Amino acid sequence: MEKGSVGTALFTGVFVGVIMFLYYFLVPDTNFFITVVVAGVSAWIGSMIGNKLFPNKQ
């Protein structure tokens, strides 16, 4: 495991948690498929932001 990947993983997890909390708070009754898509997209965006904030040092 590389050094930058730990920070990226932690940031992605917190980012997805915050986005899903806000999503459930703002839109409580939604389809399961849409919830999975929102979680996947937020994980993808969170990992891209995390890679920019915590680059791999080699």
Please write the tens of the pLDDT for every residue from 1-14. Answer: 555 588 889 999 99
Q: Is 24 helix (H, G, I), strand (E, B) or coil?
A: helix
DSSP state of 20: H
Residue 58 lies in a domain: no
Look up the domain containing 41 and give its range.
Answer: 3-53
Residue 19 lies in a domain: yes
Average pLDDT value over all residues in the chain: 88
Number of domains the chain contains = 1
Mean pLDDT of 12-20: 95
